[in-house]
Structure 1
Amino acid sequence: MPVIEVQHLHKTYGEKVAVDDVSFTVERGEIFGIVGPNGAGKTTTVECVEGLRVPDAGTCSVLGLDSRRDRAELRQRVGVQLQESRLPDRLRVGEALELYSSFYRKPADPERLLGLLGLTDQRATPYNKLSGGRQQRLSIALALVGSPEVAVLDELTTGLDPQARRDTWDLVEAVRAEGVTVVLVTHFMEEAERLCDRIAVIDAGRVAAVDTPAGLVRRIGAEQRIRFRPSAPVDLGELSGLPDVLEVERHGSQLVVTGRGAALQTVTSFLARRQVIAGDLRVDQAGLDDAFVALTGKKMG
């Protein structure tokens, strides 16, 4: 039985359709990503799942609970990190955890959470003195303080510098290692590709696809470009005739081979048999960004 099951979800605000017939499931123990541009309906979708909004149609089941009927029980078992949240400037880290832990029947050990998230030394630090990265760490801690079975993290790393973003990714993986199922809402394709087991691509309120990151890339039948400088002359005709090779071009001393499937292995084996070294070898291949463009016709950003 899926941990989360969303069926035919629909939500409008006046004339605007925010969520239009969205369906997906989330399995226990996975990091499930919901990706799409700003305004795609991602946050509205998860707010319906969390019980924070009432959908106009459709159903959301979380841990066997109905998101509308069982909201009180759901809040005891689902941790939420909202897209936009701010604590009082003078509230200290330790005080925030103590306050939030009082809302739950079975709160986690605040000291253990501080240690897990690297905030032990910040226990007495006021919220407004924390860096952006540490504020996000505290946000995760508050989402976990109720010992949830599911954690929903919405636009977790927006506004963080690259190092703080990567540190936060490590924390998300640590949360999953604790046995928590994670729903990650993001518009950063690199983040989704790094963390998620499966991804729902949402655009204009509809699900364009649900698959693994690699599966989404495979769907577009993407080509790869292999660039290198051969240490000795290479017969371009022979290279062009290799399996999975579509085109070979020469750019000065560099060769560019366009291929698909096992083209990289085919080309490198061909060169090795002829004792040719591929200098400055670089492979450009499609990623999640390319899959998103192919699925939606839009660029992220």
Structure 2
Amino acid sequence: RVTARAAVTSPVLGLPADPLGRFDGASLGGVWVEPPAAEGGAWSMLYHGRSAQADPDVVQLSMGSIGLARSEDGVSWARADGPLTGGAVLAPSDDPEDFDAALVGMGSVVGDRLYYFGGSREPFQLGARTLLGVKQSAGVAFRAADGRWTSRRQVLARGRPGSWDELFVASPQVVRHSPGEWRMYYHGAGSGFGDRRFRIGLATSDDGLRWERRGVVLAPGEDGAWDAGGCSRRHVFPLQGSTGYAMLYEGTSGDGRHGIGLALSSDGLEWRKDAGHPVFEPSAEAGAWDGKVVSAPHFVPQAGGGLLFYVGISKEGQPAIGIAQAESGNLRGFRRL
């Protein structure tokens, strides 16, 4: 279990004090947390970040490279420098023709596999600007004996022209449902529906490498709904004491307000939204570090409850990672630690 700490009202990982040269000096996001495998072990957190020295032609979002942080108790975290530029553990490909040559972003870890998404250097026109890294596909890298992530490859390309995920395939979370069935939940956007609102989709595989699309599993809400603007980053996990699944997902309203919602499923294939409102919202406290946005949920189940790791953004635009707690297994309400 996480070691309790009184009144943790500040984030557990923010931007570095000295951003110069750091892979996450300008922004961070995309949390994936692994609790200790054995009693007394360390927690690990993989997340992505963007350098303050990043190529200005690459779309300026939270991703760029992937890095690592560690913790002894799940609450106090410290960066653990990787072997790549800026302390990263996975960086864009050096080959400008690769699908991940402009940026990489965090997805999920399954055993010795790191599923991530990569942005190519294929141009995307946004008004008068030409941006790189917008067109994204899912990839996988394998953990080598020395701990490095190697043998990377693309596993799910963005969709065909006119499809709902034509523009990108992002934040792949892979679940090994059974030995012969792997599932990838991801979000995408495209022009197939006449808009570019984010939707959550599913792909399946028998080996985790060759994937077949199954379509959209969670779509934006109706006009006026809290998630009418789109559904994006999410975490799917088994319900405690049940055969079903839960999905905590990031939703956006029509006017751009972010929250985290809950969807439920008996089989992980067909999903229903649990309520007409988010289960976790930006803080209403003056000066809160997460007063503008809460996003990128990752849930760690624990006996009698669990921990929600998330990315928050202040009204001044400063991103950081924080924790909230679900008590007594209640996924419909979280208390900030």
- Give TM-score scaled by structure 1 length: 0.29
Larger RCO (CA within 8 A; separation ≥ 6): 1
The structure in which a higher percent of residues are helix is 1
Structure with a larger share of its residues in strand: 2
Larger radius of gyration: 1
